[in-house]
Chains A and B, each alone.
Chain A
């Protein structure tokens, strides 16, 4: 009952409306009913994340974080959770400043062009059983294609602002996002190989039946999970890969010249893109909307999904509170010398794992054991070797200054 409440609710609304609305309008109403919850829930989740993030970062630094703003005209503080409403009102009422030398049309279009692909990314995500706005057969491909489109609007923003910081930030963003696009896609291919489908709905369904069916509990899945997460952080310009908006060097990066609500849209698009990437992460490796206890679901599938998403958000806040921003050359070294070879080797590992399991058709446990023994050991050894020889050396070696040291 609770499991299908949204599906039933939509069907009953559609049944009610089809009584008196013209036939031609019904597909639009149906799309609207699918889109509206996404537009409602995820921006709200973004708003709550901003306050949770500030509180979490505060606690990591042994501070309290914001705890003042509550209900206006009263002394009720609700632990500072009025903050995001105040921030929203502030950014809506602020003056929208456009630099006089900016390319005004492109400057105006950039935030719009950013928010559209970011919202389109949500259209193929399975939020629960039978809860997917658009069940595409190539949903994962659509997700990556649309996600890559956001790079264009970032460069639009940086170029049209006519500001050196904006342009530098945009160039950094382009370099970073194109470099990490490849590991981002390649690390997810192992799951596509295992599930035999590009549809995110099929991938989630392939992991039903308990926590041991999740892809993260295979050696290639574990490695793919780590690689996908790192690439997703870089794609979303998230700490420790937040060079495009490094405030200590670039003011605010590509959206330096944006103010008021346009700035808020950039801010929101960044977080929504992050949520979409994390949702795909969950779907690919952590069973999507599946609960961990097999047929005993305990919670409806969409709640399992949201629970996992919230845990992921806490994890990225924790990461942001821990890691410093890395340098541009470290970023590039890491992408091309570690992530990319590791992703390619992981594809090989996934293939070998599949054949090892095929050799034990009677006993899945033995297959699982030998897969870990062979593929797991090999991948771990390669991780150590590659980490030390290529990325490790590049990341930790002392920089030589030819002229400054004399």
Chain B
């Protein structure tokens, strides 16, 4: 019958219209600034620098090796190495970045910096609200803005972060065992030379 399909369609839209007032789950959108959809674990926006512990300055994992700076396709990373060294998590003396800037207006979120980093120091963040009224200075993220804690990393990418933590723990144990063995070897050497002498 002519018009029967129209009536069917009208019924469907009426159900949506009334249903959207009654069932909250029907609504496909959220009221953004007040209400946010939590970011997916696989989401990525811009890179950030991971630090361990409480002090962003002391716990920064980055050693200023500049691999990411060289690999970055749009060349948005700028690093200046420090003059002095400080111990890393395995007790080895390393440099650290004196300056670490990322121009997020240039960054294209390709994640290459994360993939090339041998120190698990740079990771992708899910934060995207960087709008600013100052388009030059406001979009240049410096070391203090980029440094975020390992807990934050665990919160936004739990699976990936726990794998990284396990690897780093393993590295530390291996390093400690090696150091211990070396120490014992040195001690044995010293004892041997003493008895010989």
> Restricting to B53-73, which residues have a CB under 8 Å from any CB of A?
none
Question: Do A321 and B2 touch (CB < 8 A)?
Answer: no
Q: What's the nearest-Cβ distance from chain A to residue B21, in Å?
A: 7
Contacts between chains A and B (CB distance < 8 A), count: 52
Contacts A63-B27, A318-B10, A319-B10 hold; do A387 and B17 have CB atoms under 8 A apart? Answer: no
User: Does A59 reach chain B (CB closer than 8 Å)?
Assistant: yes
> Restricting to B9-52, which residues have a CB under 8 Å from any CB of A?
9-10, 12-14, 16-17, 19-21, 26-29, 31
Question: Do B17 and A318 touch (CB < 8 A)?
Answer: yes
Question: Do A387 and B3 touch (CB < 8 A)?
Answer: yes
Q: How far is the CA of A328 from the CA of B122 in the complex (A)?
A: 58
User: Does B1 reach chain A (CB closer than 8 Å)?
Assistant: yes
B2: contacting residue among A61, A64, A323, A387, CB under 8 A: A387
Q: DSSP class of A's interface residues: helix, strand, loop or mixed?
A: helix
Q: How far is the CA of A95 from the CA of B58 in the complex (A)?
A: 57
Cβ contacts A45-78/B at 8 Å (1 or 0 each): 0000000000010011111100100000000000
User: Does B6 reach chain A (CB closer than 8 Å)?
Assistant: yes
Chain B: CB-nearest residue to A380: B1
User: Does A297 reach chain B (CB closer than 8 Å)?
Assistant: no
> Restricting to A174-214, which residues have a CB under 8 Å from any CB of B?
none
A323: contacting residue among B9, B20, B28, B29, CB under 8 A: B9
Q: Could you write out 27 A-B pairs with CB less than 8 Å apart?
A: A59-B16, A59-B17, A59-B20, A59-B21, A60-B13, A60-B20, A61-B16, A61-B28, A62-B19, A62-B20, A62-B28, A63-B29, A64-B27, A64-B31, A318-B10, A318-B13, A321-B13, A322-B6, A322-B12, A323-B9, A338-B2, A383-B1, A383-B2, A387-B3, A388-B1, A391-B2, A392-B2
Chain B: CB-nearest residue to A56: B17
| A41 proximity list for chain B (CB < 8 A) | none
User: Does A36 reach chain B (CB closer than 8 Å)?
Assistant: no
Nearest 9 A-B pairs (CB), nearest first?
A: A387-B2, A322-B13, A59-B20, A60-B13, A322-B9, A59-B17, A62-B26, A60-B17, A62-B20
Q: What's the nearest-Cβ distance from chain B to residue A336, in Å?
A: 16
Q: What's the nearest-Cβ distance from chain A to residue B4, in Å?
A: 9
Q: What's the nearest-Cβ distance from chain A to residue B145, in Å?
A: 30
Question: Do A60 and B2 touch (CB < 8 A)?
Answer: no
| A391 proximity list for chain B (CB < 8 A) | 2
